[in-house]
Structure formats: C-alpha cells, structure tokens
Structure 1
C-alpha cells in the first residue's frame, strides 16, 4: 500500500536520530519464533533468509544456503537445519510459508569482525525448545528421561523465555505430550 505523506510528515521538521550500535546477544541458547522466511537468489544458488524473534524481544537472523554451487558443505548444513526446523515443529517444509511461526531454540554465537564489518550474532544450531528429542521421520520423537525432568537453572543470562504465546502454537501440557509421544503412530 502506498500513500501520500503530505500533512502527515515533513522532512525538515522531523527530529534527527543518532546512530545506535546494538549490543550483541551473549552466546547462549534462546527460544523464539521464526517470523519471516524469504527465498532469495544468491551468486551461487538460493538461500532462505530467516528472521527469528526471540522471547526476549530481540531478533537474530540466519541464511540457509539450500542451493550453493560453491560449497556443498554449506548446502548440506542448510538443508539439515531446514529439515530439523520441520521435525521440531512436526512439519515437512515445502514452502517458505511452512517455516513462518515455527518455534525453535537457537544456539547463538558471536562471529568476530571481518574486513569492514563488525562482530555479529550468528545462529549455530537449532533445537526443540520443549526438549523433545528429534528423531528420524519414520519414528515419532520420544522424550528422554533427562528431557522430561525439570532442568536446573543455568546462568541467569542466556536462556530466555517469556509469557504465554499460546495464540502462536498449539502445545500440549508436558504430561499429555509425553503420553502422545509414546503412541505408535505411523507417519
């Protein structure tokens, strides 16, 4: 949607805003939802650009090089991460729309400065925020004994969880979920 801003905005009277440097997230694991997934062309193929909104309100970004003619290793990692996101959320990913609102736990690291670019946060790994073990597609995921037990609080910083977001996903209580995971349901 486009619209004329006459009477709503005047460039000359708008305040000047100072540039801000955003603090990097400390390395750690963070829960969040993928809020944007966009397929983009690259010099060597195609990537899916992800915007992950963490429960603490911050965003991290990741690029999955699903077709990468210059690096089969990058392509393998990206395809594995895409499959893992689908498994965590009980989906077979066939479209970028299938990724939006997927719930994930991401391991975030800090990549050092390179050339003209400063340090930045990078996503190193995806896992299930519910602690459910991700298994092969021919068997349902099963909750391990250690995942079913309450986890001790680590440090006060990285693990970020916030209030109810039930409008974004249908999650069963842990007891009900454990019961359904033991069912022999063919996929």
Structure 2
C-alpha cells in the first residue's frame, strides 16, 4: 500500500535511531511473546520465537524443527520439548508456546562483514532452577520479585518415584553416605 507521508513524517526533524547495544553473554529469564511457524528457503520449517526478557529487552530464536540437517532438527525439537516440560505443557501448536516462561543462555554471534554482531539464544534451561550465573539473572530475578506479577508462575507436576524403588539409574547408584536408593530418591524429589 503506497501512501503520501507529507504532514505526518519529516525526515529532517525525525530523531536519530538509538544505538543498538548487545546483551552481555549469560543467562536471562523471560517469556515467549511471539511464536510463528515459517517455511525455510530449503523447504523445511522453523519456529521464529521472540522472547521478552525480564530486563525489558528481547532476543530472537529460530528453531529449525524440520530441515536438511538432522542434528539441527534434533536440537530444535529438544528445545521445544524442554520449553513444554518446564511449563507443564504439551506443545502441539505455536500458540502453546505463547507466554511460556524460559531461562535462556544468550551468547554473541560475531559479525560476518555484511551484518554486525548479534545476540543468539544458545540453549534453554529450566526457569525454576537456580543458577550461579552472571548478574543478568540476579537483576532479572530481583525485578520479578519487586514487580507485580502479570500472570501466575508456571508450575510443574510433582515428580513421582518410579515403581520398584527407582529405575536402573537409581538401583545402580551407590550413595556415599550408605543410604538406600529409596532414601536418596526421597531426597531428590521436591515437595
């Protein structure tokens, strides 16, 4: 749609665009605010995500859920699974991703001559798990505590111990303090 901008825009009087600053690498908490299924140039599919961080910045990620690279598809599908599990959701539609709470490890991809450096989501983590990571998480968590909650926090169902005292990973485990596998299992289940 073409349209005349005289009277609504004057380039000489318009403000300069703000300088773009990259986020420092580290862990950040946020919510997925946009999830769009797109076809890739090679004929596969990706989900383009926008994640609004608790520090009011946004990062973007493209999950190549179906592409020529099997490894890339596996990574994307594992990321979707992680997001669903940590938000107690079964992801069947891009709308299921909206407002999912995530903890992302953000990195910086160097420029390539045509484009400058940019932030990238390296991987997803459980937002409920604590971290010993950089200050970004500590500031974000402090802001979340002082700010009124706009939505209830996601909760995951309580873990149930496997039948018969745990799976093979528990039976084969030898606790250093001589506890039984059931005692160890009870200590590892959050209540």
TM-score by length of 1: 0.72
> Matched residues in 1 for 2:115 and 2:85: separation?
34
| Greater gyration radius | 2
Deviation at 1:126, TM superposition (A): 0.4
In structure 1, the partner of 2:29 is: 31
In structure 2, the partner of 1:181 is: 158
Deviation at 1:25, TM superposition (A): 0.3
Aligned pair in 2 of structure 1 residues 10, 102: CA closer, same or farther (>3 Å)? Answer: same
Deviation at 1:171, TM superposition (A): 4.6
Q: Deviations along 1:86-111, whole A, 9 cap, x unmatched?
A: 11101110000000000000000001
Deviation at 1:75, TM superposition (A): 1.1
Asked whether the 8 Å contact 1:109–1:123 carries over to 2, the reply is yes
User: Which protein is richer in helix relative to its size?
Assistant: 2
Aligned pair in 2 of structure 1 residues 13, 121: CA closer, same or farther (>3 Å)? Answer: closer
In structure 1, the partner of 2:100 is: 102
Could you tell me which runs of 5 or more consecutive residues in structure 1 were left unpaired when the two chains were aligned: 132-146
1:166 aligns with 2:149: yes
Could you tell me which runs of 5 or more consecutive residues in structure 2 were left unpaired when the two chains were aligned: 163-191
Asked whether the 8 Å contact 1:27–1:158 carries over to 2, the reply is no
Deviation at 1:19, TM superposition (A): 2.9
